[in-house]
Amino acid sequence: MGWIARRLGIVAGSMAAILVCAAAGHSQGGKDVPKDVPKGFDYWQPDWMVRELWGPGRMPRSMMVRLLRHTTYMQFSVPDAYAGAKSPFAGDRAAIAAGRKLYADKCLRCHSADGMGSGEAGLALSPSPALLAYMIRRPVAVDEYLLWTIADGGKQFDSEMPAFKDDLPRDDIWRIIAYVRAGFPAEGATPGK
């Protein structure tokens, strides 16, 4: 907790700077830009980073929460307990199959079976559950980032993402990560083929 508290001030400062810079280019347009973004609209899609959402008063709180997690990682990495951690199960079929069951038990109710964030228990949450099917393909989705996120959860960023470090052994977290990386394969499917 001390780790994050010390850094949040600096992160908030750098985000404010980002917002001010983005506001300067605000009127130059982008692709498929929505004219009016409804207040509180949770704009979380593959094309979400249209320029018009950047700027004072434009960005929904839910998006700021997500960005704060990402920005914290980019600026400060992860706490020592997770630094440099690597999955022992990359591409391991048994781990992917086990991860499928663990995901169904622990994650599906919010993140949904296809990783599109539309699970029953996630519908009323703000920010809404991450679209894992997309985020897993982004540069930020490295092992240590995913381990930290799943182990420590979202309390420190004011989100409802639970912390699993007391609930799941680290290897089970890696198994879930292997399953998500494999693209949520159906039971009996051969991942990657």
Lookup: tokens for 51: 């320029």
Q: How far is CA 11 from the centre of its chain?
A: 17
* Closer by beta carbon to ligand HEC, 54 or else 179: 179
Least gap, CB of 29 to ligand HEC (angstroms)? 27
* Closer by beta carbon to ligand HEC, 26 or else 76: 76
Q: How many CB atoms lie within 10 A of CB 104?
A: 14
Dist. CA 180–CA 103, nearest whole Å: 9
Q: How far is CA 50 from the centre of its chain?
A: 18
Residue 165 contacts by C-beta under 8 Å, 6 or more apart in sequence?
151, 152
Which residue matches tokens 């998006």? 63
Least gap, CB of 19 to ligand HEC (angstroms)? 19
* Closer by beta carbon to ligand HEC, 26 or else 153: 153
Dist. CA 40–CA 17, nearest whole Å: 22
Q: How many CB atoms lie within 10 A of CB 130?
A: 22
Least gap, CB of 86 to ligand HEC (angstroms)? 16
Contacts 24+ apart (CB under 8 A), 4-7: 4/72, 4/156, 7/72, 7/75, 7/76
Least gap, CB of 78 to ligand HEC (angstroms)? 12
* Closer by beta carbon to ligand HEC, 52 or else 119: 119
Dist. CA 4–CA 127, nearest whole Å: 19
* Closer by beta carbon to ligand HEC, 87 or else 159: 159
Q: How many CB atoms lie within 10 A of CB 62?
A: 18
Least gap, CB of 149 to ligand HEC (angstroms)? 4
Least gap, CB of 167 to ligand HEC (angstroms)? 8
* Contacting residues toward ligand HEC, per CB under 6 A: 65-66, 69, 106-107, 109-111, 121-122, 125, 127, 129-130, 132, 135, 146, 149-150, 154, 157, 159-162, 164, 176
* Closer by beta carbon to ligand HEC, 25 or else 138: 138
